[in-house]
A and B are shown apart, each in its own frame.
Chain A
Amino acid sequence: MKGKKRRESVSTTILAKVPVVEPGHTPATVTDQISSVVLTRTPKWWYAAFGASFLLVLLLMQAVTKLLVEGTGIWGLNVPVGWGFAIINFVWWIGIGHAGTLISAILLLLRQPWRTSINRFAEAMTLFAVACAGLFPLIHVGRPWLAYWLLPIPNTMDMWPQFRSPLIWDVFAVSTYATASLLFWYVGLIPDLATLRDRSISRVRKVVYGFFAMGWRGSARHWHNYESAYLLLAGLATPLVVSVHTIVSFDFAIGQIPGWHATIFPPYFVAGAIFAGFAMVITLAVPLRVIFRLQDFITLRHIQSMAKVMLATGLIVAYGYLTEIFMAFYSGNQYEEFMLLNRIQGPYRYHWYALLLCNVLAPQLMWIKRARTSPLIVFVVAMFVNVGMWLERFVIVVTSLHRDFMPSSWGMYHGTYWDWATFIGTIGLFLSLLFLFIRFLPMISMFEMRTILPESEDSQA
């Protein structure tokens, strides 16, 4: 009882004491500092970093070209294991893509002011992650040039998609999510684009930023319409946070493979997605705040809050693992039992052990305040979670498939060079887009930051 009380008091004091913006900032300094990242000369390291990422994009292009020329067979897939890296990566990226909308929409509706300094690049990250994710369903099919048959396009064959298939639901869920995220991000950018337009010196920039700023002048009327639109979009985006990964989880839950066919999957996947998303936001935020000296805006309080969300969702995920184990034995279903024993003792057992280490053990460090307030430790734990969540999808996809109902058809799956090339290539794509983003767009929402300064009306209210 005593301990609990103390913890509560600690957290309230932290919330009270640690501001979301370090003291000494005025609206002008906020705007100056954030916009300067975009408006000053491109630093040399940016070229190096972007160049390195772009090399990986080239690798991705090479891998995809080879895939289109030769076929899915360049990957390690086979008959018991019909899905491999492509689906693992798809789910992994989609999961990462969850934090953005969650931070922007749900935290906005919940009036969490600390979200402001991270929502912009979290949203950007979401978009880029969804772009990476969206690539995989397209290329993983045997005949990618016909992938559009999954869309309900009226056609002369008079054929519709088969609506009972979760893959069709996926198409709708992911495309809706991508559209909503893009809109939400873009609408959020409009006032800042106007700021950049006004502050740009070069003609080209003025025109480009001006075009996308859609004639924003900052009139009260503009602000009024803008606020309602933004709130409405937040309201629209909120259910999507839950729906997308729920539907992605149906890809597995609707199937009847032991290890897939479980009702826990939707909540477990959503929690896992938020877990993974926050881990990725931390992975990006910690280096960015150092590089661009944004410690004033992305404060320890942010790091801490995100660490807590990561811990909480990590516990839900761990609970999911426990439930899986319990249900396998409680069900009395021999296939489920075998699936679980095979996870623990089978040829892929080390993946499972590593998964537990990364997703269950590592986040427990976040209980400790000193760990949670050290950006380095939080970063390392987030890296563990990034790896762990990838392993989780590997365990779900591959370990379940490789030994299912017919012992005669059991097999093994190993990623090939091209599997890895494609995966690493998408990381390159993600990073490249991210570097372009931080170079050309304000990575922190300037106008929203201004509203949470101590002197602003909002924050006083």
Chain B
Amino acid sequence: MSTTSTAKKRLLGTRGREFWRSLEELADDPEFEQVLHREFPEQAAVWPEGVDRRRFLQLTSASLALAGLAGCTRQPPEKIVPYVNQPEELIPGQPLYFASAFELDGYANGILVESHMGRPTKIEGNPDHPASLGATDLFAQAAILSVYDPDRSQAVRHLNRIRTWRAFVDDTRRGLNALNALGGARLRILTGPVTSPTLAAKLDEVLATYPQARWHQYSAAGRHSGSSGSRMAFGMEVATRYDFRQAKVVLSLDADFLNTGAAAVRYARDFMGGRQIRSVADSMNRLYVAEMTPSGTGAAADHRLPVPAGAFDQFTAALASALGIPEFSPPELDERLLSWVRVVARDLEAHRGACAVIAGAYCSPAVHALVHILNDRLGNNGRTVLHSDPIEARPVDQLQDLQTLVRDMSAGEVDALVVLAVNPVFDAPADLDFAAAMMKVSRRIHLGLHDDETAELCHWHVPQAHDLESWGDARAFDGTVTLRQPLIDPLYGGKCPLELLQLLLGDDGLSNREILERFWQQTASSTMSVAAWRKAVHDGFIRDSQKPPRAIETRPDAAAEVAVGLSATTDAAITVVFRPDPTIYDGRFANNGWLQECPKPLSKLTWDNAAIVGPALAARMGVANEQMVRLELEDRALELPIWIQPGQADRTLTLHLGHGRSRAGRVGTDTGFNAYSVRTSTALWRAPGARVTPLATTYPLATTQLHHNIAPVNLEGEEAEKRHLVRIASLETFRHHPEFAKHAGHAPTADVSLYPPYEYNGYAWGLSVDLGACTGCNACVLACQSENNIAVVGKDQVQMGREMHWIRIDRYFAGDLDDPQIHHQPVMCMHCEQAPCEVVCPVAATTHSSEGLNEMTYNRCVGTRYCSNNCPYKVRRFNFLKYSDYETPVLSLMRNPDVTVRFRGVMEKCTYCVQRINHARITAEKENRKISDGEIVTACQQVCPSEAIVFGDLNDPESEAVRRKSSSLDYGILEELSTKPRTTYLARVQNPNSALEAEKKA
């Protein structure tokens, strides 16, 4: 078949987003593919191996034919008709906001969803919700794309054939009734962790109806250790949360509490609130982080210590010993670690009741228990550390729970399995062989957003309604009941878990809304008035429903048990550390292009995972970046590329879970390498004794910073320091030299310009970024992508350096690469007063506005790229190809109607969310007043959990932006170029412990 006709055929067959970019790919011709693969990667041979005459002519004719095929995007004819009866409050062009909830592994965060004409387009944090306070994490931001994911499962399937919902209902009910008649259906329900009171009640009802039924919970990235640790320390399930507002000194034991976990958004706000330095009079808290693999929290620390994963337990024992807990004796560890511990212990003791020790979710249960004991001894309980009844409806040891299920299934003791919105075939520990066990079950039902790995092996697959398409509830990290209301009818007719359970109860007449309302207004212990219910739905959560803190003491013999329970090794071999992926989590977000393309914090990798090792270990193994290695853990092996990560602890190899999916969808299938294949139930988070064999092959990875080689890392860091891009000082230095940030640069004093200065009689916009508050969490990157309709470009384009993010988080390593200083710097358009881009544009497509914005007029842009070349900050992004998806209808629903979708060949960049400015201006003008401070928040500012970003009017002396910019810490980057940036930074002030500083020097 000729290239053209194949291409046409495939184009006809596409339903949604296809990341094709050239004929060859489209034609799916292996020979062409070869040409293609050689075409782009760096340093690959530039010439295709022999394009023969026929091929040459084919290509030429295909080019011409495709000019007609792909060259024009025809808009379907649309009729615009007014409403006959306009729905209440629905004004075209005016978005509405609804409170709802975003859930991850059962825990909720309160959100507000922006809705345009009934389409959810953007997620914001719910300012009243205790877990959000107006911000969200990156996953919540990306949920919008998940709703509209064209690859979502769209039909009920039975044995991979489309069936009706009715057929499923009839078949399931018949089957279960038949089993019930035979003495009770041995039904098993597998869910993720459940905090939802309604769902738990519904599950209880099901369990009551089917006496032989069991309910199991398992999440691959669940809080396994935390729950066992609390049982070890307290003898029961206890939920622990922290109040960082009260903490003067915080020690994190491998906890990335600022960036990951159900409470991260709140913790980041509370913790960073305690270190807002604007003037010399301000004081700040102190953060110590000891971690195995570098994290955003580690980067934000005043003292960060890489601790090898194999020695981590003993490191915590050293801490216990230094704090004088008699059951622990100082272990044999590197003196450097021990002296660090001693200093930190002294500092903690000096702040009894005003410090906090926090253990990472992936530490061993014993470390969690030890942390409870330490906080107890340090008098932190009830102050910085709050214990309460468990948040989960029925907390279990998830691993044990899953093992029980697998054992029962293997033994043939299960008649029917209902998998509710989890994907165990992909993410269960490899040694359990979940798939094989599951195949022994004669009736397998799967409910999920995608037709995924588990769906493939189930008899019935039911498409799940996305969280934003259904009613529900869940508790937040502190227990606050958060209500979830849908923003749109299920796009693909999905059902939610509540509805499926309702069906098992033999009643499919109730909608999920009715189920929820009934539960809260009738079943729940305190009956709710209709008014109170409405208020709760409006607010997005039930006020004062958090679990009250309780004084819970650790068991007296807990310390002795912990001392035994801590792993005794100070292992010399390589230990593998498993972590959920920083962007696609446990794999559930694999088909979300925004998250796949979001540069992972620190490594800046996109679209892949890798075996992350430190520079020292890499040197010993003799491996380079992108080199393939064979990683062996017991009898399991995985081949994947190396990524050398400065700051990674020695003898520690980090593997991120969630990649390597075989059935995720067009975006997520076959990205990266499946770390679950070597993860066993005996070593869920840490696997000692790994063997790593370097292989001769390489695998190209796509990063947005640092390309392919470790050497430039040093150079980048050094140059960044020389150029004073990131300015840092200790609190002490700052107090002695309050102007240090200003003095580091050479801002031109006079108005050195050929052109007269602009006059601003109205507003003059500006933005300030607090470097000290940034944790590199990427929420701003995702928020900007969602707000501004930024396209996803794909791995090959990222490899070529063409990612489109308008805001990027630069990270630099300084000092010893095995134990470096890590700095984050969010960079968006500087909106220079004397913008180098404006002068060189030949068609005046980028111009200065009367309010100081550097505006990009897409329609005028012809795409010379001169502006990007001349931009010293390199914040401009170019549509080298047609990156925006015009073909997939569902994606056009997702877009922000206030922002142009950019066509191929035009430049784009941060606009300071000009659509929000204009929205506020229109509102203010209608009310005949000025725009007040804080009325305009940019997308990045709104989402930032630690309030690092502030936007405002520089002509308003009272604005927060002006207040920040008048701090002596305020500086602009590359000011010596006389660009006069409107985006400026607050230098980072750290609060190091002088005792440790002295030791470092010694």
Residues of A near B800 (CB, < 8 A) are: 76, 78
CA distance A84 to B487 in the complex (A): 47
Segment touching A, from B236-244, B868-876, B893-901 = B868-876
Least Cβ–Cβ distance between B821 and chain A, in angstroms: 15
Task: Say whether A62 contacts B60, CB under 8 Å.
Answer: yes
Q: Do A257 and B870 have beta carbons less than 8 Å apart?
A: yes
Which of B705, B873, B878, B977 is close to A142, meaning CB atoms less than 8 Å apart? B878
- CB B815 to nearest CB in A, in angstroms, measures 15
Contact at B797–A406, with CB atoms within 8 Å?
no
On chain A, the residues within 8 Å of B905 by CB distance are 71-72, 141-143
Q: A65-B63, A82-B878, A334-B722 are in contact. Are A408 and B844 (CB under 8 A)?
A: no
Q: Which residues of B contact A412 (CB under 8 A)?
A: 42, 707, 801
In the assembled complex, the Cα of A78 lies from the Cα of B800 at a distance in Å of 6
Least Cβ–Cβ distance between B977 and chain A, in angstroms: 6
Contact A73-B802, Cβ < 8 Å, known A142-B878, A142-B904, A415-B46: yes
Find the A residue at minimum CB distance from B869.
A82
**B71 at interface (Cβ–Cβ under 8 A)?**
yes
Report B-chain residues with C-beta under 8 Å of the C-beta of A164.
Answer: 839-840
B881 contacts chain A at the CB level, 8 A cutoff:
yes
Inter-chain contact B842/A167, CB cutoff 8 Å: yes
Q: Given A71-B904, A165-B839, A412-B42, do A142 and B862 touch, yes or no (CB 8 Å)?
A: yes
Q: Which residues from chain A sit less than 8 Å from chain B, CB to CB?
A: 58, 61-62, 65-66, 68-74, 76-83, 140-143, 146-147, 149-150, 159-162, 164-168, 171, 251, 254-257, 334-335, 338, 401, 404-412, 414-420
Greatest chain A CB density within 10 A among B42, B800, B974 is at B800
**Once the chains bind, are B906 and A408 in contact (CB under 8 Å)?**
no
Interchain Cβ contacts under 8 Å between A and B, 17 examples = A62-B60, A71-B882, A72-B881, A73-B802, A73-B880, A141-B862, A143-B861, A143-B906, A159-B843, A162-B843, A167-B840, A167-B864, A251-B866, A255-B836, A408-B810, A417-B48, A419-B46
Q: Which residues of A contact B907 (CB under 8 A)?
A: 142
**Contact indicator B40/A162 (Cβ below 8 Å):** no
Tally of B interface residues using CB under 8 Å = 76
Question: CB-CB contacts of B897-940 with A at 8 A, as 1s and 0s?
Answer: 00000011111000000000000000000000000000000000
Give the nearest-CB partner of B35 in chain A.
A417
- In the complex, which residues of chain B have a beta carbon less than 8 angstroms from the beta carbon of A81? 801
Q: Answer yes or no: B812 CB below 8 A from chain A CBs.
A: yes
A147 to B22, CA, bound (A): 24
Task: Using known A-B contacts A62-B63, A65-B67, A150-B862, determine if residue A406 contacts B878 with beta carbons closer than 8 Å.
Answer: no
Residues in B whose Cβ lies below 8 Å from that of A418: 39
Q: Which 4 A-B residue pairs are closest in the complex by CB-CB distance?
A: A142-B863, A142-B905, A73-B880, A78-B801
The reply to whether B723 and A74 form a contact with Cβ atoms under 8 Å apart is no
- Measured CA separation A422–B801 after assembly (Å): 22
A164: min CB distance to chain B, Å: 5
Residues B843 and A414 in contact, CB atoms below 8 Å apart: no
Is there a chain A Cβ closer than 8 Å to B33's Cβ? no
- Within B837-890, the residues touching A (CB, 8 Å) are 839-844, 860-866, 868-870, 872-874, 876-882
Q: Report if B720 contacts A (CB, 8 A).
A: yes
Cα(A435)–Cα(B115), bound, Å: 65
| CB pair A165 B842 closer than 8 Å | yes
Distance from B981 Cβ to chain A, minimum over Cβ atoms (Å): 12
- Given the known A-B contacts A73-B797, A255-B866, are A416 and B46 also in contact in the complex, defined by CB atoms under 8 Å? yes
A411 CA / B42 CA spacing, docked (Å): 11
A166 and B841 alpha carbons, distance in the complex (Å): 9
A159 to B859, alpha carbons, bound, how many Å?
Answer: 12
Question: A77's contact among B63, B865, B872, B874, by CB below 8 Å, is which?
Answer: B865
Inter-chain contacts of A255 with B (CB < 8 A): 836, 840, 866, 869-870
Partner of B720, one of A71, A142, A408: A408
In the bound complex, what is the Cα–Cα distance between A411 and B825 (angstroms)?
A: 18
Chain B 967-981 against A: per-residue CB contact (8 Å), 1 yes, 0 no?
A: 000000010010000
Asked if A58 and B839 make an inter-chain contact with CB atoms under 8 angstroms apart, the answer reads: no
Q: What mask results when residues 409 to 426 of chain B are scored 1 for a CB within 8 Å of chain A, else 0? A: 000000000000000000
Q: In the bound complex, how far is the Cα of B60 from the Cα of A364, in angstroms? A: 45
CA A150 to CA B797, docked complex, whole Å: 29
**Which of B59, B64, B808, B842 sits near A408, CB closer than 8 Å?**
B808
Contact of A406 among B39, B707, B844, B873 (CB under 8 A): B873
Indicate whether A166 sits within 8 Å of B722 (C-beta atoms), given known contacts A256-B870, A406-B810, A412-B801.
Answer: no
CB distance B868 to A407 under 8 Å? no
* CB-contact partner of B812 in A65, A404, A408, under 8 A: A408
Q: Within the complex, what minimum Cβ distance (angstroms) separates A139 from chain B?
A: 11
**A62 to B864, alpha carbons, bound, how many Å?**
22
A171 to B, closest residue via Cβ:
B842
CA distance A58 to B715 in the complex (A): 45
Residue B827 contacts which of A143, A251, A406 (CB distance < 8 angstroms)? A406
User: In whole angstroms, what is the CA distance A253 to B843 when docked?
Assistant: 19
With a cutoff of 8 Å between Cβ atoms, the chain B residues found around residue A71 in the complex are 879-882, 904-905
Contact pattern, B 720-743, Cβ under 8 Å of A = 1, otherwise 0? 101101000000000000000000
User: When the two chains form their complex, are residues A79 and B801 in contact, meaning their CB atoms are under 8 A apart?
Assistant: yes
Tell me which of A147, A150, A251, A410 contacts B716 (CB under 8 A): A410
CA distance A256 to B864 in the complex (A): 16
Residue of B nearest to A415 (CB): B46
Contact in complex: B874, A414 (CB < 8 Å):
no
Instruction: Tell me whether B864 and A409 are in contact (CB under 8 A).
Output: no
Question: Chain A contacts of B802 at CB under 8 A?
Answer: 73, 78-79
- Which chain A positions have C-beta within 8 A of B836? 255-256
Name 13 extra pairs, CB < 8 A, besides A142-B904, A164-B839, A405-B977.
Answer: A73-B904, A76-B40, A141-B905, A251-B866, A255-B840, A255-B870, A256-B977, A404-B872, A405-B872, A407-B715, A407-B723, A411-B801, A418-B39
Select from chain B the residue with minimum beta-carbon distance to A165: B842
Partner of B63, one of A66, A82, A256: A66
- Chain B residues with CB under 8 A of A420: 46-47
Give the residues in chain B near A256, CB-CB below 8 Å.
836, 870, 872, 977
Q: Which residues on A sit within 8 Å (CB–CB) of B870?
A: 255-257
The answer on a CB contact under 8 Å between A150 and B843 is yes
Write the chain A residue with the least CB distance to B866.
Answer: A167
Interchain nearest-CB distance for A72 vs B (Å): 5
A281–B722 Cα distance when bound, in Å, is 47
Q: Is B958 an interface residue (CB 8 A)?
A: no
A307 vs B93: C-alpha distance in the bound complex, in angstroms? 71
Known contacts A65-B63, A71-B904, A142-B862; is A254 also within 8 Å of B840 by CB? yes
Contact A79 B39 (CB under 8 A): no
Beta-carbon contacts of B34-68 to A below 8 Å, as 1s and 0s?
01001110110011100000001001100110110
B433 within 8 A of A: no
> A147–B861 Cα gap in the complex (Å)?
10
Pick the residue among A159, A338, A406 that contacts B860 (CB under 8 A): A159
* Nearest B residue to A411, CB-CB: B801
Cα A219 to Cα B291 in complex, Å, equals 96
* Residues on the B chain within 8 Å of A146, using CB: 862
Q: Give the chain B neighbours of A73 by CB distance below 8 A.
A: 21, 797, 802, 880-881, 904
Contact in complex: B725, A406 (CB < 8 Å):
yes
Chain A residues positioned under 8 Å from B35 (CB to CB) = 417
Report chain B residues within 8 Å CB of A82: 865-866, 868-869, 878
Chain B 530-568, CB-CB to A under 8 Å as 1, else 0, gives: 000000000000000000000000000000000000000
Instruction: Choose one: A72, A160, A338, A417; the contact of B719 (CB below 8 Å).
Output: A338
A405 proximity list for chain B (CB < 8 A):
723, 872-874, 974, 977
Give chain B residues whose Cβ lies under 8 Å from the Cβ of A76.
40, 800
Q: How far is the CA of A77 from the CA of B719 in the complex (A)?
A: 24
What per-residue 1/0 map shows which CB atoms of B680-722 lie under 8 Å from chain A?
Answer: 0000000000000000000000000101000010011101101
Which of B47, B860, B863, B873 contacts A141 (CB under 8 A)?
Answer: B863
CA of A417 to CA of B60, assembled, Å: 15
B998 interface residue per 8 A CB criterion: no
B70 at the interface (CB under 8 A from A): yes
A410's partner among B707, B864, B865 (CB-CB below 8 A) is: B707
